[in-house]
Amino acid sequence: ESFALYNNQLTDLPFEKGQIQALHLGSNKLKVLPPDIGQLNALQNLYLEGNPICELALQKIRSLLPNCAIAAIEPFFLGRFLRGPAV
């Protein structure tokens, strides 16, 4: 199951529990994601491009979703998919 909420100018994430495998949140205004995001155990891909999420928030997301590939534009990893801790 895929859930797409891109390009909506979201500043907060409406948390949706379920067996989501891909979550598309690109081009919003998200600075952080709620800790409940860690309950999405089936999540394999998280797309965050175009959001003002800082490196510290990305590290928190990675710790909550250690088995999820995260696509985000970051200062040192521009547009790369990251799995788990930063490399």
Q: What is the SS3 assignment for 64? A: helix
- Residues 20 and 41 sit within 8 Å (Cβ to Cβ): no
Average pLDDT over residues 46-75: 87
Q: 33-59 pLDDT, tens per residue?
A: 888 889 888 999 999 998 998 888 999
* 65: number of Cβ within 10 Å: 22
Task: Please state, rounded to an integer, the average pLDDT across all residues of the chain.
Answer: 80
The structure's pTM equals 0.76
